[in-house]
Amino acid sequence: NMSGHNMGNMKMGEMHGGGLLPESALPQNLPLPDLKKLINTSSQSNYFSATLTAKPVKLQLTPELNTEFWAYNDQIPGPAIEVFEGDTVEITLKNELPQATTIHWHGLPVPPDQDGNPQDEIAPGASHTYKFTLPEGCAGTYWYHPHGHNTVAEQAFRGLAGVFIVKPKQDPLAHIPVQNWLMSDLKLSSDGQIADNSMMDWMNGREGQFVLINGASKPQITLNQATRARIWNACSGRYLDLALNDADIYVIGTDGGLLLKPHQVKSLLLSPGERAEILIVPRKSTQQNLKALAYNRGKMGNVPEEVTRNLASIVMTQDSLPTLPEQLRALPLLGQPTAVKKLEYTETMEMGKGMNFLINGKKHDMNRIDLTSKLGEVEEWEIFNNSHMDHNFHIHGTQFTIINHQLNGQVHQPEYIGHKDTINLKPYERVRIKIAQHHKGLRMYHCHILEHETLGMMGQLNVI
Ligand code: C2O
Ligand code: CU
Ligand code: CU
């Protein structure tokens, strides 16, 4: 039942956002923490097995701040899962939360009945084992988070998320050092506890006063040479347009793995849920900030203009572009589409009830199939953002490629082609993608601004 999330029922304190801690409340400039790995308890080769326990935990953020999170294995962010292509993965979820949950393997080609759909909730006190085998060729930068019914936004902002890295058997970039940067958002009220969503958060997507990298606020990152960084935008609603002075940035991978060739960029926009792999080549030895540039995404209400934020300070040592292979990988692409699907995003305001976020005029209904696809058939999907704010599009279980973008009557080719499971749409933008599903069953697609997803901007695809 949605009433708990309904803006019409919000208390006044929530409407005004309440008091928040200042940004200086958390320590800054500490060395970037490593993501702690989930330990494999299996002794078989090509087999990964482990347990994740989701439960409330109090973490001492400072001597004064004892904050309750919901965490996997008491860790913020959750433990990093690192496996190889071809591995069989068996993960037991123990649910010690006060509400039902699931684990969704964002971006991974796992069968629908193992993908943590809202229909497959694990009750409080229960446990469940997810099991799947990762196909060859799926090496990439994925993550996991809850996907229960109407609870995703809250469970994510309380801390439940972790990275899932699939490594190739032969890494063409094995000679380049790697760093993992999981970017998440934290909103603490003045009592040091995680704040509930305000009415503005429900409309625009939640943004807290802290952007964390691997759980730390404004950490210090050291780059002693050209470095490959895997970056996750695991924020509920925050867009990150990342930039660095005095360094060359090359995109080398997208959500679902490496590109064919590196592509140099000035900045890198990651909407919520998106990931990228970049190669950072320092142009001089300096200390500077990793910035998130102002990105105005058509928020509703009286919200201040975005400004550039500093996410981290980076100490870097000048280096040159490392030797790269001619081709980073053979990038398999889908053939000609033989079916077409169209989605339209809209939002409406209902008096006394707040916003509705809709796909093709409808709110998500667990008991309704919105679309049907045939197993393996290549389809063209056209997603039209018929609204004055940015939304993004994510679909479960597969990777797609962009055919083109259309904005203000102009058609644009994508800047580069890569495997994607999440893509942003500016206001009134149309994006056409090529997509195929490789397992039968039920798949979700939605805006990955988690508040919009929770308020209904989600649909269900049945693959037959
Ligand atoms: Cu990360 Cu259905 O999403
Ligand atoms: Cu997903
Ligand atoms: Cu949205």
264 alpha carbon to ligand 3 midpoint, in Å?
A: 28
pLDDT at 12 > cutoff 70? no
234 lines ligand 1 (CB under 6 A): no
408: left (phi over 0), alpha (psi -120 to 50) or beta: left
Q: What is the pLDDT of residue 304?
A: 87
pLDDT in tens, 418-457: 999 999 999 999 999 999 999 999 999 999 999 999 999 9
104 lines ligand 1 (CB under 6 A): yes
Per the prediction, the chain carries an average pLDDT of: 95
Averaged pLDDT for residues 127-155: 98
Which amino acid type is present at position 43? S
**Residue that finishes a domain, picked among 145, 167, 189:** 167
Number of domains in the chain: 3
Instruction: Indicate if 344 and 310 belong to the same structural domain.
Output: no
Nearest-ligand number for the alpha carbon of 107: 2
**Residue that finishes a domain, picked among 301, 316, 331:** 316
**Residue that finishes a domain, picked among 167, 197, 221:** 167
CB 89 within 8 A of CB 139: no
Instruction: Indicate if 132 and 246 belong to the same structural domain.
Output: no
pLDDT at 240 > cutoff 50? yes
Q: What is the pLDDT of residue 14?
A: 45
- Going by their DSSP bridges, the two strands 275-282 and 140-145 should be labelled as unpaired
Tokens standing for 88?
């069989």
Averaged pLDDT for residues 272-285: 98
Instruction: Indicate if 272 and 362 belong to the same structural domain.
Output: no
Q: What one-character-per-residue DSSP string does 53-88 give? A: EEEEEEEESSSS-EEEEEEETTBSSPPBEEEETT-E
pLDDT at 4 > cutoff 50? no
Instruction: Indicate if 390 and 302 belong to the same structural domain.
Output: no
Q: In the chain, what percentage of residues exceed pLDDT 90?
A: 93
453 alpha carbon to ligand 3 midpoint, in Å?
A: 7
Q: Is residue 235 part of a domain?
A: yes
430 lines ligand 1 (CB under 6 A): no
Instruction: Indicate if 46 and 126 belong to the same structural domain.
Output: yes
Q: What is the pLDDT of residue 178?
A: 98
Tell me how far CA of residue 407 lies from CA of 190, 342, 418, 424, in angstroms. 42, 16, 21, 13
CB 95 within 8 A of CB 103: no
Instruction: Indicate if 435 and 382 belong to the same structural domain.
Output: yes
pLDDT at 293 > cutoff 90? yes
* Bridge partners, 264 (sequence order): 250
Instruction: Indicate if 152 and 235 belong to the same structural domain.
Output: no
> Does an H or E element contain 359, and which?
strand 354-359
Instruction: Indicate if 380 and 265 belong to the same structural domain.
Output: no
Q: Which of 116, 147, 148 is CA-nearest to residue 130?
A: 116
Q: Is residue 23 part of a domain?
A: no
Instruction: Indicate if 192 and 125 belong to the same structural domain.
Output: no
pLDDT at 1 > cutoff 50? no
444 lines ligand 1 (CB under 6 A): yes
Q: Is residue 198 part of a domain?
A: yes
Q: What is the pLDDT of residue 18?
A: 62
Q: Is residue 20 part of a domain?
A: no
Domain housing 277? 178-316
Nearest-ligand number for the alpha carbon of 202: 3
Q: Is residue 306 part of a domain?
A: yes
Instruction: Indicate if 458 and 409 belong to the same structural domain.
Output: yes
Q: Is residue 14 part of a domain?
A: no
272 alpha carbon to ligand 3 midpoint, in Å?
A: 10
Averaged pLDDT for residues 221-247: 98
pLDDT at 11 > cutoff 90? no
Q: In the chain, what percentage of residues exceed pLDDT 70?
A: 96
Q: Is residue 334 part of a domain?
A: no
Q: Is residue 324 part of a domain?
A: no
Q: What is the pLDDT of residue 353?
A: 77
Determine the Cα angle at 383 with ends 143 and 275, to 5°.
Answer: 20
Instruction: Indicate if 443 and 357 belong to the same structural domain.
Output: yes
pLDDT at 10 > cutoff 90? no
Instruction: Indicate if 306 and 275 belong to the same structural domain.
Output: yes
The atom number, within ligand 1, closest to the CA of 422 reads: 1
Reported confidence tier of residue 3, pLDDT bands at 50, 70, 90? very low
Least confident of 232-236, 329-333, 366-370: 329-333
396 lines ligand 1 (CB under 6 A): yes
pLDDT at 154 > cutoff 60? yes
CATH number of the domain where residue 289 is located: 2.60.40.420
Q: What is the pLDDT of residue 157?
A: 98
